[in-house]
């Protein structure tokens, strides 16, 4: 645990008692603060009280009078589409609102590192797609290279649950827009921007607000090095704002679709090959086609971003390549779960939006595509470039019939349930094809989260193949 100091004796409100809320409460208590916790779920309050925490509803009259700060869990809206009543009450009362990420960066700055030869570093990864894989890949490569590293934030452990990093330690954080938007302190050593596609627009008041939330990590964080995906206009804009000249190698530009040129520092992938250029010459390359845990162009973008971050941390190209080859991928993200009869079964349940599902489709040649769920804003038109890879779609979800009508020019069968979709896909798949779960939709019509949906897919595949 990383104790949060500077609030000894103060009452600090904690709103939301999931992983981040409880870890923040423990860290504040370890630093001498008096956390006062609240969650609308009575079971969550009961668990907090069992740990000896005080609970109190911050919306009640007078509840915030002695409170000096409110720490908010990322899933609770603080501005759009409307502020949570407790957060609105805090803002009305002039109580500063923060989150566990802000507490982490402030607490980390209090570390006694003067005696260390190599102080710890923080790598923070944000973006619409690929940030989990990129974060996990950086962490994996560091560990394989013998560097002490911890993975936290929006993946793995709560950020305040990790151990205080020591000599040459690296903390790799995956940060969502919900986390970067509200954190009052953001000071990573290396910041990574993977890409930007429309998502969470209701929480940020539109695409501009969404980009602004991501941009805070760079504009206010002031990282020593910025790794920026430049395949979208927002990434090119961000890289341009951060660099003081074309040769400014504090910005490492990354692309998964085109060769980058110029006197600066670039890492790009084309036709399955990753290439690093610096100061006008090639200094490294990796053949990604044989890296089993990173299939498809979208994972090649993740590989480029992770490679750039690891190079910025001082690792050599061959160290990074070795780490890539031993990386097995993350569950629910282009995860190969079975191979039988020449057919590959891939779980990409995390492909919850059009852009990530498109990239999943384009990673394979002949796809039996399981898709569907709660459609997000904008429809499915953006998937059309990937339809040429689809042999047939098997649509799940309560809105399966309406979803299938959006798949123009694709043979689609309304299956509704995962069990039926998998059974039909397994029965019809031919050698050389891929049965792919890439829903392009949220899971909440049938599952608690995308993980549960992916787990169901894996279970149904095993059952259909007789591997229970």
HEC per residue, 365-395: CCEEEEECCECCCCCCHHHHHHHHHEEEEEE
Q: How many CB atoms lie within 10 A of CB 106?
A: 17
The encoded tokens of residue 163 equal 């151990």
The alpha-carbon radius of gyration of the chain (Å, integer) is 23
Give the annotated binding-site residues.
127-133
Q: What is the DSSP letter of 329?
A: -
Q: Report all structural domains of the chain as residue ranges with CATH numbers, in order of start.
A: 11-98 (3.40.50.720), 103-325 (3.40.1190.10), 335-464 (3.90.190.20)
Report the pLDDT value the prediction gives residue 418, as an integer from 0 to 100.
97
Cα–Cα distance for residue pair 290/283, rounded to 1 Å: 21
What is the full per-residue pLDDT of the chain (468 aa) written as tens digits? 999 999 999 999 999 998 899 999 999 999 999 999 999 999 999 999 999 999 999 999 999 999 999 999 998 999 999 999 999 999 999 999 999 999 999 998 776 666 788 889 999 999 998 899 999 999 999 999 999 999 999 887 899 999 989 889 999 999 999 999 999 999 999 999 999 988 788 899 999 999 999 999 999 889 999 999 999 999 999 999 999 999 999 999 999 989 999 999 999 999 999 999 999 999 999 999 989 889 888 899 999 999 999 999 999 999 999 999 999 888 898 888 999 999 999 999 999 989 889 989 998 999 999 999 998 877 899 999 999 999 999 999 999 999 999 999 999 999 999 999 999 999 999 999 999 999 999 999 999 999 999 999 999 999 999 986
Q: What is the DSSP letter of 330?
A: B
Please, how many CA atoms are within 13 Å of residue 358, restricted to the half-sphere of its CB? 14
Nearest-CA neighbor of 306 among 269, 340, 260, 339? 269
Residue 206 CB contacts under 8 Å (≥ 6 apart), including other chains: none
CA 167 to chain centre: 27
Report the pLDDT value the prediction gives residue 112, as an integer from 0 to 100.
66
Give the annotated binding-site residues for ATP.
127-133
Q: Is the dihedral of CA 385, 390, 393, 396 positive or negative?
A: negative
Report the pLDDT value the prediction gives residue 114, as an integer from 0 to 100.
67
Q: What is the pTM of this model?
A: 0.86
* 3-class DSSP state of 174: strand
């Amino acid at each position: 645990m990383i104790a949060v100091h500077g609030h000894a004796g103060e009452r600090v409100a904690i709103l939301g008692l999931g992983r981040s809320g409880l870890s923040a409460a423990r860290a504040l208590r370890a630093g001498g603060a008096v956390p006062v916790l609240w969650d609308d779920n009575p079971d969550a309050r009961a668990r907090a009280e069992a740990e000896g925490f005080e609970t109190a509803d911050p919306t009640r009259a007078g509840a915030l009078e002695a409170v000096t700060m409110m720490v908010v869990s990322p899933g609770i809206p603080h501005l759009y589409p409307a502020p949570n009543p407790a957060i609105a009450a805090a803002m009305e009362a002039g109580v500063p609102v923060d989150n566990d990420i802000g507490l982490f960066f402030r607490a980390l700055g209090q570390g006694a590192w003067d005696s260390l030869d190599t102080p710890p570093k923080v790598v923070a990864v944000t973006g619409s797609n690929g940030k989990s894989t990129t974060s996990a890949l950086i962490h994996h490569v560091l560990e394989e290279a013998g560097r002490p590293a911890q993975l936290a934030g929006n993946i793995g452990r709560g950020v305040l649950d990790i151990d205080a990093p020591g000599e040459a330690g690296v903390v790799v954080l995956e940060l969502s827009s919900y986390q970067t938007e509200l954190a009052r302190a953001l000071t990573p050593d290396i910041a990574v921007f993977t890409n930007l596609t429309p998502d969470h627009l209701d929480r940020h008041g539109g695409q501009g607000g969404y980009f602004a939330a991501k941009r805070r990590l760079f504009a206010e964080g002031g990282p020593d090095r910025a790794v920026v995906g430049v395949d979208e206009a927002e990434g090119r804009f961000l890289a341009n704002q951060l660099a003081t000249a074309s040769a400014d190698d504090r910005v490492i530009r990354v692309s998964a679709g085109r060769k980058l040129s110029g006197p600066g520092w670039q890492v790009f992938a084309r036709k399955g090959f990753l290439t690093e250029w610096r100061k006008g010459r090639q200094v490294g390359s990796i053949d990604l086609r044989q890296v089993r845990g990173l299939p498809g162009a979208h994972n090649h973008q993740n590989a480029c971003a992770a490679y750039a971050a690891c190079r910025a941390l001082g690792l050599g190209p061959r160290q990074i390549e070795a780490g890539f080859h031993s990386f097995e991928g993350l569950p629910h993200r282009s995860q190969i779960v079975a191979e039988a009869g020449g057919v590959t079964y891939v779980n990409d349940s995390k492909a919850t939006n059009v852009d990530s599902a498109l990239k999943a489709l384009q990673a394979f040649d002949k796809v039996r595509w399981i898709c569907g769920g709660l459609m997000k804003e904008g429809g499915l038109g953006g998937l059309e470039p990937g339809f040429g890879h689809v042999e047939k779609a098997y649509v799940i979800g309560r809105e399966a019939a309406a979803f299938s009508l959006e798949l123009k020019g694709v043979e689609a069968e309304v299956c509704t349930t995962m069990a039926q979709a998998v059974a039909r896909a397994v029965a019809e798949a031919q050698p050389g094809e891929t049965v792919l779960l890439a829903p392009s939709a949220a899971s909440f019509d049938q599952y608690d989260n995308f993980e549960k949906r992916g787990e169901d897919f894996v279970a149904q595949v095993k059952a259909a193949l007789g591997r229970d």
